[in-house]
Amino acid sequence: MAPSASTDRYAVMGNPIAHSKSPLIHSMFAQQTGQHMQYDALLVDKDGFEQAVAEFRQSGGLGLNVTVPFKQQAWSLAQERSARAELAGAVNTLDFSAGQCFGDNTDGVGLVRDLMQNHQLDLAGRNILVLGAGGAVRGVLAPLLQQQPNNIIIANRTANKATELAELFASYGNIEGMGLDAIPTKPFDLIINGTAASLQGDVPAVPTNCINDSTCAYDMMYAAQATAFMAWAQKQGAQKYLDGLGMLVEQAAESFYLWRKLRPETAAVIASLREQMHA
User: Active-site residue numbers?
Assistant: 71
- Give the nearer residue to ligand ATR in terms of CB position, either 108 or 132: 132
The least CB distance from residue 268 to ligand ATR, in Å, is 28
- Give the nearer residue to ligand ATR in terms of CB position, either 103 or 264: 103
Count of all residues that appear for the chain in the document: 279
Residues lying near ligand ATR in the complex (CB under 6 A) are found at: 132-136, 156-158, 161, 195-197, 200, 202, 204
- Give the nearer residue to ligand ATR in terms of CB position, either 101 or 131: 131
Q: 94 near 101, Cβ under 8 Å?
A: yes
